[in-house]
Amino acid sequence: MPFDTELTRRLGIRIPVVQGGMQYVGYAELASAVSNAGGLGILTALTQPTPDDLRKEIRKTRTMTKYPFGVNITLLPTLQPPDYGAYAQAVIDEGVKIVETAGNSPGPVITKLKKAGIIVLHKCTTIRHAQSAIKLGVDFLSIDGFECAGHVGESDITNFILLSKARQTLKVPFIASGGFADGQGLAAALCLGAEGINMGTRFMCTVEAPIHQKIKEEIVQAQETDTALVMRRWTNTTRLYRNKVTDAVVKIERDSKTGEFAEIAPYVSGKRGRQVFVNGDPDYGVWTAGQVIGLIHDIPTCDVLVKRIEKEAEETLTSKLRLAKPKL
């Protein structure tokens, strides 16, 4: 077995690849496929309308995989604030052993999860936030570079700097998130000090991802320049697939005299964005994508993808080691 890292050991997975918690993508179908392939599949808590629906989705996932999987709980501004405590309780009651947290002021949720003995991976975009999460007792950090999809934070530090800074300063193991799609990326992350990687956009473009085929095809043809940053004006900067809706948001954000969030709310609404994945129209609403979108060229099953990543990483690491051997 080529991969034996703190992440594979603690989580009981075969390959150090975690599927990111993606809103309206992280259902049982994808999470179980990633776990069956040897990585860690993740259900997205807030994708479920209520904590009870999350309980049902956890039970459904259990019927689809015998391997470990986790749940993502993201705490960010929302149009309708959810009861995070109730979602966390559902996770605890259902016996899930791993949670990915992300977002602002995660203290109460992390404390609750840790009291229940759950392994917590906390995703953050700065070393300062990572240090705060360590004080809360998280088990792993998921260090999220500026390349990433969704909430990029406000510091704009890419992973070449952020991962090495994490290696130099953090006393808790970390995985690398943002910009990963292949085994060369995994090898690089391990070399920089990470115990594994987190991938979101790459897993959206797999056979099992429960989104419309046309969106997967849109991802395949997209370039690394096809994302847009919105909501910086509201200190909630988010990287999305660039489309007609993000163009409209960028214009309002730039030109609005009032700066009221309500002006862009109908455009960035998650409910509207969710329809993109149902109707297959990439311009219907907003949907998240990382710069890594330019490195995705096919729609494999999760099993094919994870095996390929494993092989590429192994080949990359061994060929580099060979190069490093002194000449006789």
Q: CB-wise, 42 or 187, nearer to ligand NAD?
A: 42
C-alpha to C-alpha distance for 316 and 322, rounded to whole angstroms: 10
Interacting residue with ligand NAD among 210, 270, 294, 300 (CB under 6 A): 270
Q: CB-wise, 73 or 313, nearer to ligand NAD?
A: 73
Smallest gap from residue 63 Cβ to ligand NAD (A): 24
Read off the tokens for 3.
């991969």
Q: How many residues interact with ligand NAD (rule CB under 6 A)?
A: 23
Q: CB-wise, 159 or 238, nearer to ligand NAD?
A: 238
| Residue 246 sits in the site that holds ligand NAD (CB under 6 A) | no
Q: Using CB under 6 A as the criterion, what x/- string covers residues 19-38 for binding ligand NAD?
A: --xxx---------------
b vs e for 275-289, b when ≥16 Cβ sit within 10 Å of the residue's Cβ? Answer: bbbeebebebbbbbb
Instruction: Give Cα 15 distance to the centre of its chain.
Output: 16
**Residue 43: which residues within 8 A CB-CB, separation 6 or more?**
21, 26, 27, 28, 31, 54, 57, 58, 61, 69, 70, 71, 72
C-alpha to C-alpha distance for 207 and 302, rounded to whole angstroms: 7
C-alpha to C-alpha distance for 272 and 279, rounded to whole angstroms: 11
Mark the segment that binds ligand NAD (CB under 6 A) among 57-65, 186-194, 204-212, 234-242: 234-242
Q: Which of 212, 156, 252 is nearest to 25 (CA)?
A: 212
Instruction: Give Cα 81 distance to the centre of its chain.
Output: 21
| Residue 56 sits in the site that holds ligand NAD (CB under 6 A) | no
Q: Using CB under 6 A as the criterion, what x/- string covers residues 158-197 for binding ligand NAD?
A: ----------------------------------------
| Residue 46 sits in the site that holds ligand NAD (CB under 6 A) | yes
Backbone region of residue 137 per phi and psi (left: phi > 0; alpha: psi in -120 to 50; beta: other values): left
| Residue 291 sits in the site that holds ligand NAD (CB under 6 A) | no
| Residue 280 sits in the site that holds ligand NAD (CB under 6 A) | no
C-alpha to C-alpha distance for 278 and 219, rounded to whole angstroms: 15
Q: Using CB under 6 A as the criterion, what x/- string covers residues 125-164 for binding ligand NAD?
A: -------------------------xx-------------
Distance in Å from the first CA to the final CA of the chain: 30
| Residue 76 sits in the site that holds ligand NAD (CB under 6 A) | yes
Backbone region of residue 303 per phi and psi (left: phi > 0; alpha: psi in -120 to 50; beta: other values): alpha
| Residue 104 sits in the site that holds ligand NAD (CB under 6 A) | no
Q: CB-wise, 261 or 294, nearer to ligand NAD?
A: 261
Q: Which residues contribute to the site for ligand NAD (CB under 6 A)?
A: 21-23, 44, 46, 72, 74, 76-79, 150-151, 231, 234, 236, 238, 261, 268-271, 288
